[in-house]
């Protein structure tokens, strides 16, 4: 690992904020709870939408389901990012050299790319103007759903492995 990155992680871990979180009886557990609640909200919404893409609950309109679940997933992200950064700060020297942590970060980037590709290129609900014949979802959309589920399971597994 480049020395500048190691120095940065060392500095980060030694900040007053990181030390306060580590030394607090309640702050670190509270951040973990916020992080986990955010994961539940984000991944729960993603899983439900992915399952619908795979053909479950076909009676639920995709556009309506997307309109309901996507804002919740975004709210979950608003909990995950700041809490994750604060949790990372408390142990950045160790996490910064942990291959599981970097695998988790790579998987998160891949999940974000999957979401972008899906919403920009693949998502055409049955009543979308570009899908006038009310066709079923494309195979690519279903593959994206499988990729999403796989990535989120792997991300959660990495997160849990980091705790041990």
Domain ranges of the chain: 3-162
CA-based nearest residue to 19, from 80, 79, 90, 86? 90
Would you give per-residue pLDDT tens digits along the chain (164 residues)?
667 989 999 999 999 999 999 999 999 999 999 999 999 999 999 999 999 999 999 888 888 898 999 999 999 999 999 999 999 999 999 999 999 999 999 999 999 999 999 888 877 655 554 544 445 678 888 999 999 999 999 999 999 999 87
Q: Which residues contact 152 (CB under 8 A, 6 or more apart)?
A: 43, 46, 47, 111
């Amino acid at each position: 690992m480049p020395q500048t990155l190691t120095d940065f992680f060392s500095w980060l871990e030694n900040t007053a904020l990181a030390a306060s979180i580590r030394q607090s009886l309640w702050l670190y557990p509270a951040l973990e709870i916020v992080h986990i609640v955010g994961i539940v909200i984000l991944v729960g919404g993603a899983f439900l939408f992915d399952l619908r893409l795979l053909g479950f609950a076909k009676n639920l309109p995709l556009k309506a389901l997307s309109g309901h679940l996507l804002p919740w997933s975004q709210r979950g992200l608003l909990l995950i990012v700041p809490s994750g950064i604060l949790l990372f700060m408390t142990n950045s020297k160790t996490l910064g050299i942990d291959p599981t942590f970097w695998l988790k970060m790579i998987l998160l980037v891949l999940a974000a790319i999957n979401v972008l590709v899906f919403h920009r290129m693949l998502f055409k609900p049955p009543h979308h103007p570009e899908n006038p014949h009310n066709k079923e979802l494309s195979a690519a959309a279903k593959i994206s759903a499988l990729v999403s589920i796989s990535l989120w399971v792997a991300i959660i597994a990495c997160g849990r492995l980091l705790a041990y």
